[in-house]
Amino acid sequence: MNNEFRDKEFKQILAYYSEIQTGLRGRASREQKVLVRKAFNLALNAHKNMRRRSGEPYIIHPLLVAIIVLKQMNLGAISVTCALLHDTVEDADYTLHDIETMFGTEVSTIIDGLTKIEDVSDTYASLQFENFKKILLYMSKDPRVILIKLADRLHNMRTLAFMPLEKQQKIASETLYLYAPLAHRLGFYNIKSELEDLAMKYQDPGSYNFIEEKIKATEESRELFIARFIQPISEMLLAKGIKFEIVSRTKSIYSIWQKMTKKQIPFEEVYDLFAIRIIIDVDVEHQKSACWSVYSVVTDIYKPNTDRLRDWISMPKANGYQALHTTVMSKAGKWVEVQIRSKQMDALAENGFAAHWVYKQGDSISDDDLRHGRLQNDTQNSEQGIEAWLSSVKEILQGNESYQGEMIATIKMNLYSKEIYLFTPKGDEHTLPEHSTVIDFAYEIDEKLGNYCIGAKVNNKLVPPSHVLKTGDQIEVITSQKQKVHPEWLKFAHTSKAKDNITHAIERQRQMKITQGKTKLKEYLKKYNVEPIKINRDKLMVFTQIGKKEDLYLAIYNGKVTEAIVKKCFSPVGLAYRIFSPLRPAVKWFKGLLNLFSINSAIHRKLNHNPKTVLLGESMHEIKQTIATCCNPVAGDAVIAFSLSDNEIVVHRVNCSEAIQLSARYGDRIVKAKWRIDEKNAEFLAGISIRGFDNKGLVSNITGIIYKDFEVNCRSVQVETSEGLFEGTIMLYIQNVEHLNKLIERLLLIPGVEDVERINSYYEEQQKKKK
């Protein structure tokens, strides 16, 4: 590398470091600045011979992570120090002991939380999951661990273009599935939106570029509309002597796409493409009443949609977010979302979780206060919501009954779920996730209340434990000492706390039944002069074909293994049965062999064998390849494959929600896959939904094009008509994605057909209709 280029890089490194020191001015003591300088020097030395995939010096990464921590999260000097050091143990030759010796226990503890686990002893465990679990557990010790990790992930996402395709898919999926919801839960909405947009850029680049171009194309007209909309509001607020600032915020690309997909509408029909934010400068004591005064001004000018009013001032979100949201009709006939909040509320919304802690020396957040959670009085209630969430996540992670996939799904639910506000008969308020039921509420109050719950009075109306609650409900739980916990409760319990309590109660009941069954067996054996020893118990297990002793005791308790069966086991008939028992596997094998050669089995195997699979992973031969039924990829789709075993892969479309979850949980199982172009006459199952006006002969025209013009075979056709409109779902076999797109284009030319679009599966379409 020539000296000129090296000098240019070093100047850039010093410029970033200078930016950090400038940002700490007035926010850190002299000793803290020395600590940051020491961390910079160590990181510079640790990464001196390392470069990122982009070609830039590795030290650029920790510097930019530190800048995010300092400027976007507004954290202090200790957090900046840890951001600079966060890769020194994982990627360099330094140890945690070295860090502790040079920087102290506090810094080394945070670095330990940020250092990835290299291996797991449990072969069934996911390394990704174990690392995420470690970070969340450390978060309950020190919140800065997850804040620095979010900053690290944000910078990695900004430079993801330099990674290989399979790495892009893994990291983007993990970000969308876990890190963006985490940023949302902690109140970092700007970071959450950027993470979602960057993930979508790699998950679904076509849709991302389409929406980005649309936003740019409509920017001029949108700015003119906003200027006209806010003018009368500004004039009236000035006339009332209110100090304020009005800003506009364009919705993120990912959230626009989510709305388009969920509501099945084009870009032009997304009415909340942007939001108007009114930030008022008022003292804390009067901020709530001032926000309502501004709301009154806005709704005096523009007519509000009362169904869209969101009062998060009276009842803040669990992460502390406070604001009034209303949607009003503009003079141009368009709905506009208006957000109203004070400066302090805005600081909380922008700085998220970190803004709960007190400020020292201007606008900086003290690391010591962040470490120990010393709070201002006015944020105490908000902080309790965060602490309750941290506690619930810790409970989930420390439970050992859940399969890790379930555990991640439960944590994700806790990250993104909306809250409902519920009340006891005495008026005590409790916050639970949306879709919570009576049984969740009962366990939230007390474990015994949940165990003995037989129902509740919700707003004085008698309801069962499965009743779904909504905000404002007042619940009186009804109990009975005769009640027992039922496994069916797990089907409608929504919170992890309720599920864990139910699981533990069921296990306690099971152990009690096993003990009683064991006692009853001893009584039976004693009655027939059979010694209650292991060998005799094993004889009974062979006789009853029960593999585990616990299952035998349960069968005795439940009456499936009766006293008569025990007596028969130790009779001469039972003896003969046990003697011939070893021959049973051979008989079963012989029956299976006969079945293998039967005509019906031969037909079944032929129907299930698909020699035309056209997906291959590189350097893979004779591997079973399965097309995922959740998204039905076809030749030409961007796809991603996952290894199920050494000789089997399953293939999804890259934007399939199931594929995103699998990538987040099992990134190490991603297999590079591509379409083989040498296959002819290959057919893939795909689905289309079609809507329009019910003209005479319309269905005949549609089927004619499908069967005659395109020579496509259909698996199923379902059409419903109502009040002159029709809606249909067609599952058909096509050659590739180009073939499908041409068919859709041709169907759209039929008079009366208004919309044709591809669907993932017939089941998914039916679920949408039910909703």
* Helix, strand, coil percentages in the chain from 3-state DSSP, rounded to 5: 55, 15, 25
Which residues does 451 contact at the CB level (< 8 Å), separation at least 6?
Answer: 483, 485, 501, 505
What is the DSSP code (8-state) at residue 323? -
Q: Residues 9, 19, 56, 91: which is the catalytic one?
A: 91
91 is catalytic: yes
Q: Residues 7, 90, 446, 709: which is the catalytic one?
A: 90
Do 174 and 106 form a contact (C-beta atoms < 8 A)? no
Q: Distances in Å between the alpha carbon of 505 and those of 1, 403, 447, 517, 521?
A: 67, 18, 10, 18, 24
130 is catalytic: no
Give strand pairing partners of 673. 617
The candidate with the shortest Cα–Cα distance to 468, out of 456, 486, 481, 451, is 456
The candidate with the shortest Cα–Cα distance to 717, out of 739, 675, 682, 747, is 747
Longest dimension (CA), the chain: 103
Q: How many CB atoms lie within 10 A of CB 597?
A: 8
CA angle 95, 97, 102 (to 5 degrees): 100
Amino acid identity, residue 92?
A: A
Q: Hey, what are 238's tokens?
A: 């000035």
Question: Cα torsion at 150, 152, 153, 158 (round to 10°)?
Answer: 130
Q: What is the CA radius of gyration of the chain?
A: 32
The candidate with the shortest Cα–Cα distance to 137, out of 396, 501, 415, is 396
Which residues does 255 contact at the CB level (< 8 Å), separation at least 6?
Answer: 193, 196
Which residues does 324 contact at the CB level (< 8 Å), separation at least 6?
Answer: 291, 292, 294, 295, 309, 310, 311, 312, 313, 339, 340, 341
**Residues with active-site annotation:** 90-91
